[in-house]
Structure formats: structure tokens, C-alpha cells
């Protein structure tokens, strides 16, 4: 079951609606919430997945405004270059550390 990663994405939906977020935000956060452990996706990939292939920039902004950093693994979202990018919940070092813990080996820092 895919819900193993995010114990009840439906619950997330409810919370997002309560936070008064926009559809764009909800789609991004919800999609990121469904990313399996040990896997990473680029902002571009997420943008395309939600139907906004050119709004990768807005995707980053959406994750930045992430109201549920615990339920939503925004750290699994990295740049298209393979770099980690920024992380408002601890910094790039924390992001890389978490990914490493999940089994993802970040590319050699450039």
C-alpha cells in the first residue's frame, strides 16, 4: 500500500484545507507526501506531476511554506542537477543527512 509512506494522505488534505492553502500548494504538498522513502524527486518532476511543468519555481515556494514539515518529507525534493537545494527546516546539511539515512546517496557536492 502506498499509504505506508504517508499514513493517511486524506488526513493531510483535510489539514491543508484548514490551513487555507491554494490548490497549487495542496497538490505539491500532497504529491511530496506520497514520495516513497529512499527516493528523491526534483522540483521540476513535482511540478510536472501536479500539472504545472513550468512552475517548478512555485513548487519550491510551496514547500517553503510547508505547514506540515513533519508529515510532508519536503527533504525528498531536490534540484534537477542532483544537488539538494535549500531546506528551511534545518539547512542543506540536515537535508543531505536525512536523505543519506533513507538510503539516498546525494551526488558529489559541486
Binding site for DNA (CB under 7 A): 21-25, 42-44, 52, 54-58, 60-66, 69, 74-75, 77, 79-81, 83, 85-89
CA dist., res. 63 & res. 43, Å (int): 10
The DSSP call for residue 36 is: P
CB of 37 to DNA, least distance (A): 16
Where in 1-110 does DSSP place strands (E)? 41-42, 77-78
What positions carry a catalytic annotation?
A: 74
DSSP character at residue 62: H
User: Cα separation of 66 and 59, whole Å?
Assistant: 10
In the complex with DNA, the residue whose CB is nearer, 1 or 15, is: 15
Q: For residue 47, what are the contacts with CB-CB under 8 A and spacing of at least 6?
A: 53, 54, 55, 56, 58, 59
Nearer to DNA, 55 or 96 (CB): 55
Taking the least distance from each CB to DNA, the nearer of 30 and 58 is 58
Q: What's the min distance (Å) between Cβ of 57 and DNA?
A: 3
Q: To the nearest whole angstrom, how small is the minimum distance from the Cβ of residue 59 to DNA? A: 7
Amino acid at each position: 500500500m502506498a499509504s505506508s509512506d504517508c499514513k493517511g494522505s486524506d488526513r493531510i488534505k483535510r489539514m491543508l484545507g484548514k490551513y487555507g492553502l491554494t490548490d497549487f500548494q495542496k497538490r505539491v504538498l500532497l504529491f511530496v507526501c506520497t514520495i516513497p522513502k529512499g527516493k528523491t524527486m526534483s522540483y521540476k518532476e513535482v511540478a510536472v506531476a501536479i500539472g504545472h511543468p513550468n512552475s517548478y519555481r512555485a513548487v519550491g515556494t510551496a514547500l517553503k511554506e510547508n505547514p506540515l514539515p513533519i508529515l510532508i518529507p519536503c527533504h525528498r525534493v531536490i534540484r534537477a542537477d542532483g544537488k539538494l537545494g535549500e531546506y528551511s527546516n534545518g539547512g542543506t546539511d540536515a537535508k543531505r543527512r536525512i536523505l543519506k539515512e533513507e538510503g539516498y546517496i546525494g551526488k558529489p557536492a559541486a
